[in-house]
Each structure stands twice: as structure tokens, then as C-alpha cells.
Amino acid sequence: MSLDKLPKPEQLVSDVNFKHVPDTPWMDTPTKFKEGTFSFPAHPKSLKYLGMANPRDWSPTDADWKLPDDWQDIIIKGIEERLHKYRSFRLFMDICVRCGACADKCHFYLGSGDPKNMPVLRAELIRSVYRKDFTLSGKILGKLAGGRKLTLDVLKEWFYYFFQCTECRRCSVFCPYGIDTAEITMIGRELLNLVGLNINWVLEPAANCFRTGNHLGIPPHGLLDMWDFMADDIETITGVKVDLPINKKGAEILFVTPSGDYFADPGTYTCMGYMMLFHQLGLDYTWSTYASEGGNFGLFTSHEMIKRLNAKIYAEAKRLGVKWILGGECGHMWRVIHQYMDTMNGPADFLEEPVSPITGTKFENSKATKMVHITEFTSDLIKNGKLKLDPSRNDRFRVTFHDSCNPARAAGLLDEPRYVLSQVCNNFFEMPENTIREQTFCCAGGAGLGNDENMEMRMRGGLPRANAVRHVRDKHDVNRLICMCAIDRATLTAMMHYWAPDVSVGGIHELVANALIMDGESERTDDLRGEPLKDDGEDEQDV
């Protein structure tokens, strides 16, 4: 579904009324697979390649989903296994009091008004089955105890709503017990995967990543072409020919960023920003074609798949003999790096505790995992006066910052990006406080939902974020939405196109590189996008 098929923005959510709930109780309200609100199933070839269950052609709108005969057994056993492996899952099944504090914290609920998008009800979709099959009261009292049988309709409902959650964790900030719907959705999706229910926008990138090292399936020589192309663009704009070390053994630092940064605008400008920064520093680093993906769509599939895809990063660091790893601007990548990588694929005892070769600063907060976030690295450079910056080169931009869900709510990376922005541009405006930092709203396209067929639900779920951007646009003439996430850069671009067409989207290191004064550069007239640094009519030279 393309954007122009949607109703006008003001009309899109005219059917949303928080005071209204369906006439039928939720357990008796069937799921409708409406075009534009769900994602297409995975192609069998991706499942086969990854060795996953039940590869076949099917569609959510078919009556027959071609499930294995014993699908109920598989799911129930799957629940039982996970109740013994994840305290989060077990506890979150048991302790919810249904106070409803989470209800209007979910962007999909705010944009759709569908009560099954309230985090509490999303969890109840599984919890009801858990009560029926795993609790004494549910076994005896059944429906009276809030239990229900796992039927095909229930399974279809799971598929619809667990692929209508971006695992953004905003609800868990507000829950008095810290119940995290991301945990519920992750387990829900694991269970669905056991019987072959999954979406293509997650599993094709996962399969690609497994084979080629990146989501887009770009082979090594293709990557080289892309990077070369960016280096040429940099030379055109700055007159500087940047180094492009690839798979270089013995480099000090391995750099890993999401492949979204190589592939499509505006991510490419951020990627050019990294190259210019590293070149200017004379950093002894390397790109890798094998670990050419920071993102990890395993996070949207199963814990096992996270580990399978993430393994490449440490393996490559070891093979190349680097000292430590630097990671680019990405959201869910940093959830995996920060909270899963060391546990799954560590210990990284073959690496050294990260120290900036430029400033000598020890990155104490990453001494075990040995991977540093690029905004930590750059903040340290700026703080120590190692970069010559001309923030006025970004004066054309009136900037606001979108905190990406995972860096904000799964790592606490809030002030690093703000510090960098404060040093590279002169016009910065925060969005309202209920929509930033740990309370930030999702782009509604994370966790594999940023596909075209799901466009209506993306634009609905995007309302809270877009609404806050429109607020600063109207109040402060903001025209550039900055984010540090590759999925954001893709999905927010579409969202702004729909909700706030005069706001463009970009990454932090694009602005860093615009402002960066490089040795031997020619006079800059254009920014990294090839657009004039000054608006027409005010192009007189600074004295």
C-alpha cells in the first residue's frame, strides 16, 4: 500500500475514539485482516535457508493457514519451555493487575484506537491461554478465571497483534511492575515461528544477513562499490579523498553499522559522515564485509536467531585481530549490542578495553562488551577539542531530535547525541517532554513492521511521533528531524512525507560531517546532500 492510497492525514485517525470500545467482549471479537494493517508472510526460501519450521506459501487472508496438524501441541509445549527459561515471561504472565496505566502509552493504540493494541490486552492474548493451560484456577474455572482455549482464531489474533507491536518498551516505562510488552511480543513471535507464522520483512533480511552478512544481501564486492561511490561523493563535496579500509587485518578498531546506512538516502549521508570523521582523525579502523550488518532482525524472530546473526561481529573482530569495536547509529542494533551480545556470544576476552586512540579516554562503560557507541566516541572527541567544527554550516537546519526506542529505553543513551548535536548545529529545539528521552514515541516501523504493505498501520502508529514533530515545526520552524537509527531514517522519512512534508530526516553524523573542517578540504558550498549550505538569496560569504 502506498502513501497516496491513504486518506488525508487529518482523516486517517478520525475513527479513533479513546472513549469507545467494541460492543463485543475482546475474546469474542474476531480479527480482521484489513489491507494496509498487516505484513505479508515470509517466503518459504528464507525459512528453508535458515532451517525454520513449516516453509510454505500462505496468506493471512486465507482461511487455511497450512499449519502442522499438531500446531496446538507445539505452541503449548513452546509456552511451557519458555516459562522455564525466562523469568520475565513467567512473571509477566502472573503479576499484571490490569490497572490500565499502559493503555494509552502505545503508539499503535493511540493511532488505531483498537483496544487489542493496549499493551495490557496484547499481553492478555497470551495470558488468557496461559491461564487456561498452566494455572490451577484456569484449569478448574476456565473462562471464569479469564482463561480461553488456544484456537485457530486465537492464533490468528496473535499473528495480527504480535506483528503490530514494535517492541519499543514505552509501556514498560509506565508499568508499576515493569511489565515489558517487548518480552511478551518476542516470546509471542517465537511461538508463532514454531508453526511457521512469520513475516517476510523480518525473515528475508535475516536470511540475507545470515548468508551475506547484511540485511540487503549485498555481496562483498557490491559493498565495496557502494562505499567507493560514497567516497567519490565525499571527494566531490569536500575535495578530500577519504581512506576506505576494508577487511583490514590488524586494524585497531572494527566499525559496524546497520546496512541501511549504505543503501538508501538519507542513511548514506550519515555513512559518509562516519567516513569523513574517521579519515580526518586518521583512525586505524576497518569496515568488514562479513560483519557488514549492525542491525539484527533475529531480535524480531527469536532469541536463538539473535545469537546466530550477532555471532559474526565478535567472530570478525577476532579474525581481524582488532582491539575493540565501534558501532554506528542504529536503534535495535544497540539493544542487541548493549543487552544481548556479550551474554550470547561473549566473553570478548580476545579484545581490549576500549580506549580512544585520539584522546586516550577509557570507555569504562563498555569494558566487558568492548563495543562503543559512535555518539560516545564523538562526544569524547568534541569534549577534548579534537575536532574543528563550524556549526554555522548547518544553519539552514532547524533541528529536533527523535530518541530511538532502543538506545533510549534499553541503554540510556540520551545525552550523548544531544551533546554532539549541540556542538555541530546552532538551532536545536526539543519536542515536548512526554515524547522524548525515555518517553519517546516509536517510528511505528521498527521490529520488522516498516514495510510498504503495512503502511496504514505505520502512519497510524506514527501519529504520536509525527504530532510532536508538527508541534515544533509550527512553533520553531523545525525542518530537520535527527535520529540515530537506520530504521528511523527510512520510516520517519515516509512518516514525515505523510504527516509533516516540510520536515526532512537525517542522522547525527551527517550534521557532524557538514560541520567538520577537514584538513585539505576545498571551500564547502554544499552539504553532504549536494544542497547549498546557505539558502538562496543569503549566499554572501562570511568574512
Partner 1 sequence: MSAAFSLITALVAVIALVVISLIGVSAGLSSLFGVIIPYLAIAIFIIGVVWRIVEWGRVPVPFSIPTTCGQGYSLPWFKSAYFDCPHNRWGVIGRMALEILLFRSLFRNTKADLRENANLMYGSAKWLWLAGILFHYSFLTILVRHIRFFVEPIPAFVEILSKVDGFFEILVPTVFLTDVALLAAATYLFLRRVLIPQVRYISLPADYFPLFLILGIAVSGVLMRNVWKVDLLSVKQLAMGLFTFHPAVPQGIGPIFYVHLFLVSVLLAYFPFSKLMHAGGVFLSPTRNQANDSRMVRHVNPWNYPVKVHTYDEYENDFRKKMIEAGIPVEKEE
List binders of partner 1 among 323-342 (CB under 8 A): 337-340, 342
Q: Are 508 and 482 in contact (CB under 8 A)?
A: yes
For CA atoms 169, 175, 180, 181, give the dihedral sign.
negative
Compare residues 239 and 412 and give the one whose CB is closer to partner 1.
412
DSSP element (H, E) containing 88: helix 87-94
Among 42, 47, 76, 103, binds partner 1 (CB under 8 A): 103
d(CA 120, CA 196): 26
- Which CB sits closer to partner 1, 347 or 530? 347
Which residue number, 41 or 113, has a Cβ lying nearer to partner 1? Answer: 113
Cβ–Cβ contacts within 10 Å for residue 475, how many? 11
Please confirm whether the linkage preceding 501 is cis (ω < 30° from 0). no
Q: Give least dist CB 206 to partner 1, A.
A: 11
CB of residue 329 to partner 1, shortest distance in Å = 16
CA–CA dist 435, 465 (Å, integer): 7
- The answer to the question of residue 21 lying near partner 1 (CB under 8 A) is yes
> Is position 481 an interface residue for partner 1 (rule: CB under 8 A)?
no
Closest C-alpha to 491, from 11, 166, 116: 166
Is 250 in a helix, a strand, or coil? Answer: coil
Instruction: Find the binding residues for partner 1 in span 349-388 (CB under 8 A).
Output: 361, 363-369, 371, 376, 379-380, 383
Which CB atom, from 72 or from 112, has the smaller least distance to partner 1?
112
Binding flag, residue 417, partner 1 (CB under 8 A): no
**Total residues belonging to the chain:** 543
Sheet with 324-327, strands from edge to edge, namely: 285-286, 253-256, 324-327, 371-373
Q: Which is nearer to partner 1, 62 or 228 (CB)?
A: 228
Q: Which is nearer to partner 1, 59 or 384 (CB)?
A: 384
- Interface with partner 1 (CB under 8 A), residue total 122
**At its nearest, how many Å lie between partner 1 and the CB of residue 90?**
5
Amino acid present at 37: T
Q: CB of 446: closest distance to partner 1 in angstroms? A: 16
Contact between 53 and partner 1 per CB under 8 A: no
Residues 193 and 189: their CA atoms lie apart, in Å, by 6
Separation CA 117–CA 107 (nearest Å): 9
- Report d(CA 344, CA 541) in Å as an integer: 54
Are 133 and 139 within 8 A, CB to CB? yes
Is residue 249 part of the contact set for partner 1 (CB under 8 A)? yes
> Smallest distance, Å, CB 525 to partner 1?
33
Q: Residue 2, interface with partner 1 (CB under 8 A)?
A: no
Q: Which of 4, 64, 69, 221 touches partner 1 (CB under 8 A)?
A: 221
User: What is the distance between the alpha carbons of residues 417 and 421, in angstroms, rounded to a whole number?
Assistant: 6
Interacting residue with partner 1 among 94, 233, 395, 521 (CB under 8 A): 94
| Binding mask of the shown chain, residues 125 to 154, with x at each position contacting partner 1 by CB under 8 A | ----------xxx-----xxxx--------
Residue 255 backbone phi and psi in degrees, to 5? -105, 130
Nearer to partner 1, 67 or 341 (CB): 341
